[in-house]
Amino acid sequence: MASVGGTTARSGFLASLRAVQLHVDRLDDVEGDLVTLVTHLAADEHSALYEFSVSSNQDVLINGRAAITFHTVAIASGDPQR
């Protein structure tokens, strides 16, 4: 787990992307820095929902929502992947 803003970030995986809008065909030929903005919308002990955008030179290139599912430790079964 990584430390983020003085708290420990939980490990997880990208579960879904929703309402994604692609405003460019490619990112590898974009001139200038890519800037990512992420807003935390909701969370519980199992998952979190974020709104995100990627921009360059103040032009939005990609935006949408992402759901993250956290890894949980199943104490009873001893299986850390559950």
Residue 8 has pLDDT above 90, yes or no: no
State pLDDT tens for residues 21-40.
Answer: 999 999 999 999 999 999 99
> Stretch 71-81: mean pLDDT, rounded?
58
Boundaries of domain holding 50:
25-71
pTM beyond 0.85: the answer is: no
Q: Is residue 7 part of a domain?
A: no
Residue 82 has pLDDT above 80, yes or no: no
Q: Is residue 63 part of a domain?
A: yes
In this structure, are residues 49 and 70 in contact, taking their beta carbons and an 8 Å threshold? no
Q: Is residue 4 part of a domain?
A: no
Q: Is residue 58 part of a domain?
A: yes
Residue 77 has pLDDT above 80, yes or no: no
**Alpha carbons 31 and 28: distance in angstroms, whole number:** 9
State how many domains the chain has: 1
Q: Is residue 46 part of a domain?
A: yes
Q: Is residue 76 part of a domain?
A: no
State pLDDT tens for residues 57-70.
Answer: 999 999 999 999 99
